[in-house]
Structure 1
Amino acid sequence: MPYESKRIMLQKAKNVLPRIRHAIYEPVSAMKVTAWVTEEPVPYAERTTGSKIELAPGDKWGNLWDCAWFRFEGIVPEAVAGQKMVLLIDVNGELCLLDKEGSPMQGLTNINSEFDFELGLPGKRVVDLGTSSAGQPIDLWADAGCNDLFGKYRSGTLKEADIAICYEEIRQLYYDYEVLLELAEQLNENTARRERVIQNLYDAALKLEVINEETVQKAREILAKELAKRGGDPVVTVSAIGHAHIDLAWLWPIRETIRKGARTFSTVLKNMEKYPDYMFGASQPQLYQWMKEYYPKLYDRIKERIQEGRWEVQGAMWVEPDTNISGGEALVRQILYGKRFFQQEFGQEMKVLWLPDVFGYSASLPQLLRKSGVDYMMTQKLSWNVYNTHPHHSFEWEGIDGSKVLAHLPPEDTYNSPGAPRSLTKIENSYLDRNVSEHALMLFGIGDGGGGPGEEHLERLAREQNLLGLPPVVQESSLSFFRKLEQEKERFQTYRGELYLEKHQGTLTTQARNKWYNRKLEKALRELEFAASLLLAMGVNLYPSKELETIWKEMLLYQFHDILPGSSITRVFEESLERYSAMYDRTKELLAQTYAKAASLTGAGEGRGVVFNSLPWEREEVVMHKGSRYAVKVPAMGFTLLTDAKRWMKGQGEAELRAEERLLENQYLRVTFAEDGSIESIYDKVLDRESIASGKQGNVFTIYHDKGDAWDFPRDYRDTVAGRMKLEGSSFFVDGPQAIVEHLYGFGESTLVQRIVLDELGTTVRFETKVNWKETEKMLRVSFPVHVMTDHANCEIQFGYLKRPTTRNTMIEFVRDEICAHQYIDLSQPDYGVALMSDSKYGYSAERNVLDINLLRSPSYPDPVADRAEHQFVYAVYPHRGDFIQAQVYRKGYELNTPLTVGESSSTHAGANGEASFTSLVLVDNPHVMVEAVKKAEDSDDLIIRLYETSGTIAETSVTFGITDRKLEEVDLMENPIGESDGCLVFQPFEIKTLRVLRG
C-alpha cells in the first residue's frame, strides 16, 4: 500500500461518493403520464375535471400555484422480475400519491426545490415497490402543486417518471460511505481514528473503480470494520426526533399548507414501516384538525402511531403564534384550545411549548405556561441573533412574575438537521451548557415547507447510534429528553425577562391592516364574551359558545408567526383580510344582538338606550345615541340607562373648550401647533408643566428609505431620511364636546388626514389618522420628544409591562432599538410622565426622551404590494402627574381600545326574575387589578373571571359579583380547580388569577 497523503486519499474518497449515488437506481421503463390541471385543488372524486394533457419529460404542465391530478401508468418489464423495484417521479412540484380510496400514501418533492444545501438535499422522488413480478401493472394517482417546498416556481415541467431497479447493496454502501466520509472530515487532525477511517475509505474507493455486485460487497466489508467501532462513556448524549416544521402560511397560501400536511405526514407513516426506530413529532393542533377534516383515513393512521408511542404530538398552542403582538388573552386561548385538542383527540397532556421559529418571546409566557401545566419550552430562533450570542442552550427562563420554565435551544441551531456526523459534532462542540449538562436535542428532517425526514436521515442515524468519534444519538420523544434535562436543572442558570430576537423588528409593523384587525377582533371578542356573560348572569343563556370558539380559533390561526407579523406572500394577506373583515363584522353583529337582549332585561323600555362598560372601573364619558350626545357615568363592568343620563347640551363647556388657529384647549390641556402642523407644546394647565421638550416639536411625521424586507429594516434607517409629510391644509373647530384640528398632509403620491381631538373633559390628546399610503420601500414614523428625563421606558406587554432602557450604552441596548409595546409606552420621572398609546401599533423606539412609533412600512418582499393601501389608526398622548403607576396609565390604554357601547333595548321583556337585580357584574376594589376576561366556562355554564396585577406590586383585592347565591373557586388557565376562594385575593407582582363563579 503506497504512503499516499491523507489529503489526496480523502479527496479520492469524496470523488467516489457521487458515482455510488448515481449507481443506486437504473431506470428500465418510462411510465405514461397524464395530468388534469386546475387553478385550485379539486377533490379526488373530481380528479378528471381539469384540463387534460399527456406529458413526457421536459413538457410543461403548470404555472405557479396551479394544481393537477397526475396519473402514472406502466408495467414492470419481464427482464427485471424478482428484483427490488422503485418508481422515480419528479414533476418539478410537490406531489402526494394516493391509494384507491383517495387517501394520501406518500409525499414527493422536486429535487431542485429551494433549500439550504448545507443541510442536505430536499428532494423526495423514490417510490418503493418492493420485489416485483413480471408484468406487474403500475397505476397511481397523485395530487400535485406547481410549487416547490418554499412556494417558488422552479419550472413546472415533468422531469422524470420511470420504473427503475433499486440496487439495495449499493444503496446501503452509499450511506456507509457517506457517514464515514463525513466522520473523517469532523474528526480532529492526526488522530488514529481519523487516519484509520480515511485509510479504509481510500481502500474501499480503490475497489470501486468499477461498481458491480462484487466490488460493492468488498467495499462494504472494508467499511463495516469502522462502522462497528463503538464509543465510550458519553460526554453529551443527543436525543433525536424527526421533525417537519410546517409554516401554516408563508411563501404559500393556507390551502397549500393543508396539502403540505398530507404530503409530509403520509411520508412519515411510510418511513415508519421501514425504520422501526423512527420517532417523529409534529406540533400545531390546527394542522391535525385539517388532517381530520380533509384526510380522515390518514388521520386515523396518525392516531394509531400516536397511541403506539412512535409519533409525538408536540406543543401546547393551537398554532405556533407570534408572541410579541398576540394579546394576553389570545395567548391563553392558544394554550387552552391547543391543550384541549390534544387531550380530547389523543389523550395526551402537553408539557412542552414548541416554538422553534417565532420572532422573540414575551416575558409573560413563563407564567402562562406554568399556570397551564406546561413545564418546558423548546426554540432555536435565538441563534439568529446578529450582535450578541444568547448565553445558554439549556436554562431556566423566568418571566416578569417570577414563574420559571425549563428552556432548551438545540445547539445545532436548526430544526432542519440533516442528522449527519457534522450535526452531532456541532452539537457537542457548540453546546454552551455542556459543562453542566449531558443531554442535547436534535430535530432532523426538512421543515418550513414541510416534507420531514427522508430515508437519508434515518439511514445516517442507524449508523451513528454509538459510533466511535461521535456523541451517541438516540431517537426518542422531546418529552423524554426534557425529563432527562430536568434532572440537571439545579446547575442551570436563570435568564429573566423577554427573550429578544435581534432580527425581524420590522414584523412589529409590516402589514398594518392585519395588525389593526387583530387588535380590534381581540377587543371585540372580549366585549362579546362579557356581554354574553352579563346576559347569562341575568338568567338568560344565549351564550354563542360554538360560534365564539370557531371565531377564536380562526383568529388564532392568523396569529401564526408568518401571518400576523406580516411576512407572507400577497395572497395570504388578501385572504386573511377578507376573513378578518367577515369575522369582525359577525362579532359586532353578535355583540349588538347580545347587548340588545341585555338592554331589554334592564327595564329600559323598547327602543331605549343602555350604555355598557366592560372595564372594571367607573367611566364618565360622552356617548352618542340616535344623533344625541349624553354625558354618562357607567359603573364598573356594568351598565346604565340613558334615561338616567344627562343629555349633553351645546355651550356646557364653551368657556374652557377652544379650537382656534394653531390652538386646542380644554380645562386641563393647551395644545399649540407650529406652521408645519407639528406640535410645539402640550401644556398641562393643572400642574403648570410642559410635556414637549424645549425647542422640539411633537407629532412629526418622518419618512425613511427602507430597503429591507418584511422581516427587517436597515439599522441605520435614521441616516436615510427621505423627507417629511408636508402640511397642505388645516381647519380648527369645536364639534360638540370636542375641540378638533384636522390636518391634511402629503408626501409623494401618499396622503395623510389626521383629526387631533381634545375632549371637553379629556386629559389625553387623541390622533385619529387615515393614510392613503402609496410609497414603495419607505417607512413612516411619528415622534414625540417629551420633557421627561429617565433611563427606562415602560412598555405594556401581555399581563404586565417591561422596563426597557432608553440609553444606548451597550451593544445589547443598541440592537434593541425597536421594541414591542401593546396599548401604551411611557416615559416617567417620579413626579411626572408622558404616555403614548395606540389602538393597533406595536413597533416603538424610545431613545433618551424621544418616543417614536413605527406607523407603516412598504417592503417589496415577499409581498411586493405590502401596505400600499388605505389605513386607519388612532394614537394618543397622555401627560400625567406622578409616574405611570400612580397615573394608572394602563387604564387609559384600555379606555382607548375599549369604548363604551350603547345597546338598544329590543323589547320591554323583563328578565327571568323581573328586571336585572344588579348594575355591575364584577367589582374589584384595587385600582391595580385588571379584569382581563369574563367568559363562560368551557365545560359548564359557570362563569370564568380572569384577573391580573398590573403594576408589579403585591396587591390585595376583594372581588364581588352582581350574581347572588354563588360560590367561588380558583382555577388554573385550563379551568382545572385549584381550591376554594372567598373572593379576597392577594396578587404577587403581575400575577394572573382565574376564578370560577359557580351558581349555588
Structure 2
Amino acid sequence: MMKTRRLRLFLYAMLVVTAQAQTSNFFVDGFHGGLYGHYPLDTYTQFMVDQLERYPDWRIGLEIEPETWDTVAVRTPEAYRLFKQKMMSSQVEVTNPTYAQPYLYNINGESIIRQFQYGMQKLRSHFPGISFNTYSSEEPCYTSQLPQLLRLLGFKYVALKCPDTCWGGYTEAHGGQLVNLVGPDGSKMIAVPRYACEKLQEGSVWQTIGWTNSEEYIRACEKAGIENPVGMCYQDAGWTYGPWLRDRKGQTQYVRWTDYIDRYTQKKNVEEWRWSQEDIHPGLMWGSQVMQRIGRQVRQAENLLVQAEKLGVLTGHRMDQWQMDEAWRTLMLAQHHDSWIVPYNNLKDYGTWADAIRMWTDCSVATARKMMSDAIAVGKQGGPYVTFYNTTAHRRQEVATTADGRLLWVDVPAFGQTTCRVDTAVAAQAREDRWQGETTAVLENDQYRLTFDLKRGGIVSSWIDKQQGGRELVDQRSTSHFGELKGYFNQHGGMRSSTESVATATCLADHPLKQQIRIDGYVAGVPFSHTITLTQGQRRVDCQLTINWTEDTSVGDPFRYRSNANRTPYYDTRYMLRMLFPVALQQPRLSKDAPFDVCESRLDDTFYNRWDSIKHNVVLNWVDLSEGRKGQGFALLSDHTTSYSYGADEPLALTVQYAGDGLWWRRYPINGATEMNYALVPHQGRWDQAQLQDMVDDWHNPLVASGCHAQQYPTRQLLAATCQLSAAMMQDDGAMILRLFNADGKGGREQLRLGFPVKDVVEVDLNGEPLAHHRPDAKGTISMKMPRFAIKTLKIYPER
C-alpha cells in the first residue's frame, strides 16, 4: 500500500515537472517556392526527406508550386517516392495548393478559382488522398472573398500571417489568437490573424516580429492575453537550415496549421471580423511600365479565355480540353506572385519574368482566339449577314462593329445570338480638317457634350450630361483640370503638367453611332495621344492613352531610396504621372471592386510614402465615386490592375507612370511607349443602382461578330440571369457548368432562366461535390437563395 502511494506521488511529481516544462509557444515552419520560383530539383526533395527523418517532431507546411512534382518525379524518382510517404504523414501539410501562388487580390475571381482547381487537381494526381484544410501563404496572397471561396473548396481554416516576406505588403494587424473571418457574402471561417500586437519589425522592410518567436513577440502576446501564441516562417525552398528555430527548439513546439487550430485554440465565441479588401495592404511597383504591361497582358488573357469557354457553350462547339487546359496553365503561370514583385529577375531559360509573362500570355491569347474562331467557323464565308453573339447573361442593346469596321445598332438577347443584314451599314469616317486651327474642340452625341480646351493641353473644360438634364460633370472650382496629365519630372523642372503646352485635335470618327477624337499634346516635352470615343446609347466613354517617351527619365518622388529606409519613392502617387478627374460631386464616397466583391473605402486618402503605412490604393477593374442612392456618381474603369489616388484635396486620378528606384534597389526604367485603355461612366445613384458591374461585364465581353451569306441562325437565347455569368463551359459527359455571381442584387434571391429542356440541375461546390438540386418551373426558371456577392456553380444536364 505504501509502495503504491509512493508510486502515485512520484508519478504526480513527474506530471507536474512535465507540465511545467511543456511549452505553450508554437511555430509553423515550412517551405515556399517551386519549379518557377526556386527549388533545387536534383537535391531538395531528398533534403526534406532527410530532415524529416532526422527530426521526427518537426512539422512543416508546404507552399510548393504543384507542377514542381512533375519534374521531381522524373529527375529524382527515389526521393519523390520517399517524399510521397512523408506527404501523407502527420509531419507535412500543404497550405497553398494554387497552381502558381498568385497574390489573388490582383486578378479576376474566375482566375482565382482556376488557380485552386488546377493546383489541387495536380497535387491529387501525385498524392492521392491528400486533404486541404488550412490555407496559408508566405507572401500576402489574400483577397476578401477567401472565406467563401475556401469553404467552397473544402477548407476549414485560414492563416493570415505572412511574417517573413512583407516586401509585397501585409495584412492588417487585428485581434487575438483567433477571429471568425466574415467575407462580403456573409461566409465565415476561423482564421489566425496577424495579432494586433504583432508589429512590423523595427528597422526592417520585410518582417513582422512573429517570424522567429522572439522574446519580444512572446512577451507582446502574453501582455495581450494570447494563450498558446504561434509564430511562422516559410523558408524559401533551397535554404538548408532544416528546422528554423535552431536556437530555441526547447521553448517552442512545431505544429502544422490545422493541428494548431484544432488542438491548441479555443474556437468558441471568438470575435467576428468583417474582412474588407482594405485589410490587405499590397505595396507593389504600381505605375512602373513593366507592371502596366504585365497587368494588361494578364487581363487580356483572362477575359479572352473566359469568353472563349462561354462562346463554345453558346454555339455548341466542343473545345479541345487539352488546349484549353494548357492555355489556362500559361495564364496561371503569368499570375505567379513573382511575376509582379520581381519582373526583372531572371527565370531559367525564359529571360526575365517579364519576358516569360509576355510569352505565356501570348500563348493563352492565341489559343483563346483560335477557339473563338473555331466556335463561329460556320460564318467565315462573309456576306450580307452578320451573326452577333452575346456571352453575358443580360440583354445587350448597343452599337456593334462588324469585322470590317461597319457600324449598326443591334439587339442581342442574353447569352444568345441574333443575325442582321448589314450590307447597308457603313464605317465611321475621319474628318481631319474638323478642328484644324481651332482652340477648342467639341465632341457630342445623344449622351454627352464634351468641350476640349486645346490651349491647355486638351483638357476637358466642360462635360455636359444630356441624360441628366444638362448637368455639368467637371468641377469648375477645382485647381486641377479634367483629363490633365501631371507628375514630377526630376530632370525636367519638377512638377509638370500637360496644360503647359498647346494641343491639337483630330476627328477620327464622325458617324451618328460613333464620335471619336484624338488629342495630341505634350507633358514635360514628351508627346502623348489621347483618344476619346462616344457611342450612341452608351453611358461608358472609352479612352485610350499613348505616351511616346523619347528617353528613359525619372518620374515620381525625387527622394533617393536607401537600404532599409522606411520612406520609399515608389509609393507616393502624388508625384507619379497621373490622369486627373476632378468631378463635380458633393462629399462622395469611394467604392472599388475586388475579386467577387465590392469594397466601400474607409480611407480618408490614398497617400503614403512609408513601407510601414501602406494603404490599399489598388484598382482591379473599377473605382467609383458616389453621392449616395439619391445622388450622382462617376466611375473609372481600368484595363489592368494598377493604383489610383484620391483625397480631400486631390481629385480621383489614375496612375499612369512611375520610373525610378524600386524594390530590391532596382531601378524601374521607361522603355518604349506607355499604352493603356480606360473608361469613364457618369451615372445616377450608387454603383449597384447604376449596374456598373454589368457595364464592366460588357467591356470584358464585347459582342462577337461572324459574317454569313444567309440568315442561317435566327435570334435565340440560351439562358438569362438576374446576376452575372462568371463562367460557362461544357464537360466531357455533356453537362454544362455555369458559375453565377450576385454582384449587385439586394433581394437575397436570384433567378436563372434556361432556354432549353433539362434533366437535372445540381448545385455543386468548387470540387464538383453536390450541394443541392434545383427544379426549373414550367418556364425554365430557377429561383435561388443568393445573397449579394455570393457565388454558385450549377451543373446542368440537358435533355438529349
Q: Please tell me the TM-score bracket, short chain as reference.
A: 0.7 to 0.9
Indicate the residue corresponding to 1:819 in structure 2.
617
Indicate the residue corresponding to 1:265 in structure 2.
45
Looking at structure 2, the residues matched to 432 and 624 of structure 1 have their Cα atoms a distance apart, in angstroms, of: 68
Shift of the 658–294 alpha-carbon distance from structure 1 to 2, 3 Å rule, reads farther
Partner of residue 689 from structure 2, selected from 886, 900, 904: 886
Indicate the residue corresponding to 1:741 in structure 2.
517
1:780 aligns with 2:554: no
Indicate the residue corresponding to 1:374 in structure 2.
155
1:608-757 equivalences under 5 Å are: 609-619=386-396, 620-643=398-421, 647-649=424-426, 661-674=440-453, 675-676=455-456, 677-687=458-468, 688-696=470-478, 697-704=481-488, 721-724=495-498, 726-736=501-511, 737-747=513-523, 750-757=526-533
Indicate the residue corresponding to 2:293 in structure 1.
513
Write out per-residue CA displacement over residues 897-937 of structure 1, whole angstroms, 9 at most, x where no aligned residue. 321111345x99x9xxxx7797222212x3xx111111134
Looking at structure 1, the residues matched to 223 and 101 of structure 2 have their Cα atoms a distance apart, in angstroms, of: 26
The residue type equivalent to 2:692 in the other structure is V
- Contact 1:235/1:438, CA 8 A, preserved across alignment: no
Indicate the residue corresponding to 1:804 in structure 2.
601
3-state SS of paired residue (2:33): coil
Indicate the residue corresponding to 2:636 in structure 1.
836
1:113-124 equivalences under 5 Å are: none
Looking at structure 2, the residues matched to 706 and 563 of structure 1 have their Cα atoms a distance apart, in angstroms, of: 29
Looking at structure 2, the residues matched to 428 and 641 of structure 1 have their Cα atoms a distance apart, in angstroms, of: 69
- CA shift for structure 1 position 529: 0.5
- Which range is displaced more, 331-340 or 304-313? 304-313
- Contact 1:653/1:760, CA 8 A, preserved across alignment: no
Partner of residue 282 from structure 1, selected from 41, 44, 62: 62
- CA shift for structure 1 position 984: 1.2
Looking at structure 2, the residues matched to 884 and 417 of structure 1 have their Cα atoms a distance apart, in angstroms, of: 38
The residue type equivalent to 1:281 in the other structure is G
Write out per-residue CA displacement over residues 582-624 of structure 1, whole angstroms, 9 at most, x where no aligned residue. 3212321222122225x58xxx998953211111122222312
The residue type equivalent to 1:856 in the other structure is Q
The residue type equivalent to 1:635 in the other structure is P
1:476-625 equivalences under 5 Å are: 476-484=255-263, 487-498=266-277, 500-502=279-281, 504-507=283-286, 511-536=291-316, 540=317, 542-565=318-341, 568-569=344-345, 571-597=352-378, 599=379, 609-619=386-396, 620-625=398-403
Partner of residue 431 from structure 1, selected from 208, 221, 231: 221
RMSD after superposition: 4.0
- CA shift for structure 1 position 832: 1.4
Tell which has more relative contact order, 1 or 2 (C-alpha 8 A, sep 6+). Answer: 2
Shift of the 320–632 alpha-carbon distance from structure 1 to 2, 3 Å rule, reads same
1:967 aligns with 2:756: no
Looking at structure 1, the residues matched to 53 and 170 of structure 2 have their Cα atoms a distance apart, in angstroms, of: 42
The residue type equivalent to 1:743 in the other structure is I
The residue type equivalent to 1:963 in the other structure is F
1:956-995 equivalences under 5 Å are: 956-982=749-775, 983-995=782-794
Looking at structure 2, the residues matched to 237 and 431 of structure 1 have their Cα atoms a distance apart, in angstroms, of: 11
Indicate the residue corresponding to 1:137 in structure 2.
none
Shift of the 722–885 alpha-carbon distance from structure 1 to 2, 3 Å rule, reads same
Shift of the 664–791 alpha-carbon distance from structure 1 to 2, 3 Å rule, reads closer
- Which range is displaced more, 886-895 or 486-495? 486-495
3-state SS of paired residue (2:40): helix
1:931 aligns with 2:725: yes
- Which range is displaced more, 668-677 or 785-794? 785-794
3-state SS of paired residue (1:777): coil
- Contact 2:323/2:367, CA 8 A, preserved across alignment: no
- CA shift for structure 1 position 747: 3.7
- CA shift for structure 1 position 850: 2.1
1:765 aligns with 2:565: no
Shift of the 672–723 alpha-carbon distance from structure 1 to 2, 3 Å rule, reads closer
- Contact 1:672/1:679, CA 8 A, preserved across alignment: yes
* 4+ aligned runs moved over 6 Å, structure 1: 385-388, 410-422, 604-607, 650-654, 657-660, 809-814, 915-918
Shift of the 575–368 alpha-carbon distance from structure 1 to 2, 3 Å rule, reads same
The residue type equivalent to 1:826 in the other structure is D
Indicate the residue corresponding to 1:851 in structure 2.
652
Indicate the residue corresponding to 2:562 in structure 1.
none
3-state SS of paired residue (1:405): strand
- Contact 1:823/1:838, CA 8 A, preserved across alignment: yes
The residue type equivalent to 1:582 in the other structure is C
1:28-43 equivalences under 5 Å are: none
Partner of residue 29 from structure 2, selected from 239, 242, 247: 242
- Contact 1:246/1:261, CA 8 A, preserved across alignment: no
Shift of the 430–968 alpha-carbon distance from structure 1 to 2, 3 Å rule, reads same
- Contact 2:418/2:716, CA 8 A, preserved across alignment: yes
Looking at structure 1, the residues matched to 342 and 718 of structure 2 have their Cα atoms a distance apart, in angstroms, of: 38
The residue type equivalent to 1:533 in the other structure is V
Indicate the residue corresponding to 2:183 in structure 1.
399
Looking at structure 2, the residues matched to 421 and 582 of structure 1 have their Cα atoms a distance apart, in angstroms, of: 39
The residue type equivalent to 2:420 in the other structure is L
- Contact 2:144/2:597, CA 8 A, preserved across alignment: no
1:279-358 equivalences under 5 Å are: 279-283=59-63, 284-292=65-73, 294-346=75-127, 347-358=129-140
- CA shift for structure 1 position 545: 1.5
TM-score, length of structure 1 as denominator length: 0.65
- Which range is displaced more, 405-414 or 363-372? 405-414
The residue type equivalent to 2:644 in the other structure is Y
- Contact 2:163/2:209, CA 8 A, preserved across alignment: no
The residue type equivalent to 1:968 in the other structure is V
Larger Rg: 1
Shift of the 492–651 alpha-carbon distance from structure 1 to 2, 3 Å rule, reads closer
Shift of the 445–366 alpha-carbon distance from structure 1 to 2, 3 Å rule, reads closer
The residue type equivalent to 1:887 in the other structure is A
- CA shift for structure 1 position 947: 0.9
The residue type equivalent to 1:946 in the other structure is R
Shift of the 742–812 alpha-carbon distance from structure 1 to 2, 3 Å rule, reads closer
Percent of residue pairs identical? 19
- Contact 2:635/2:682, CA 8 A, preserved across alignment: yes
The residue type equivalent to 1:843 in the other structure is S
3-state SS of paired residue (2:655): strand
Looking at structure 2, the residues matched to 968 and 241 of structure 1 have their Cα atoms a distance apart, in angstroms, of: 42
- CA shift for structure 1 position 810: 12
3-state SS of paired residue (1:846): strand
Shift of the 617–843 alpha-carbon distance from structure 1 to 2, 3 Å rule, reads same
Shift of the 560–835 alpha-carbon distance from structure 1 to 2, 3 Å rule, reads same
Write out per-residue CA displacement over residues 333-359 of structure 1, whole angstroms, 9 at most, x where no aligned residue. 112222223333321121211222126
Looking at structure 2, the residues matched to 626 and 721 of structure 1 have their Cα atoms a distance apart, in angstroms, of: 44
Indicate the residue corresponding to 1:152 in structure 2.
none
Write out per-residue CA displacement over residues 919-978 of structure 1, whole angstroms, 9 at most, x where no aligned residue. 222212x3xx111111134x7431111111112623433212233233211111222110
- Contact 2:286/2:642, CA 8 A, preserved across alignment: no
Write out per-residue CA displacement over residues 474-518 of structure 1, whole angstroms, 9 at most, x where no aligned residue. 333222112225643423452432253445153476611110011
Looking at structure 2, the residues matched to 590 and 574 of structure 1 have their Cα atoms a distance apart, in angstroms, of: 25
Shift of the 388–949 alpha-carbon distance from structure 1 to 2, 3 Å rule, reads closer
Indicate the residue corresponding to 1:872 in structure 2.
675
Looking at structure 1, the residues matched to 92 and 319 of structure 2 have their Cα atoms a distance apart, in angstroms, of: 37
3-state SS of paired residue (2:584): coil
Looking at structure 1, the residues matched to 281 and 233 of structure 2 have their Cα atoms a distance apart, in angstroms, of: 25
Looking at structure 1, the residues matched to 606 and 208 of structure 2 have their Cα atoms a distance apart, in angstroms, of: 40
Gaps of 5+ in 1: 1-228, 249-253, 465-469, 708-718
- Contact 2:593/2:621, CA 8 A, preserved across alignment: yes
The residue type equivalent to 2:783 in the other structure is C
Shift of the 748–785 alpha-carbon distance from structure 1 to 2, 3 Å rule, reads closer
Indicate the residue corresponding to 2:570 in structure 1.
none
Looking at structure 2, the residues matched to 564 and 418 of structure 1 have their Cα atoms a distance apart, in angstroms, of: 22
- Contact 2:333/2:360, CA 8 A, preserved across alignment: no
The residue type equivalent to 2:688 in the other structure is I
Indicate the residue corresponding to 2:566 in structure 1.
none
The residue type equivalent to 1:332 in the other structure is I
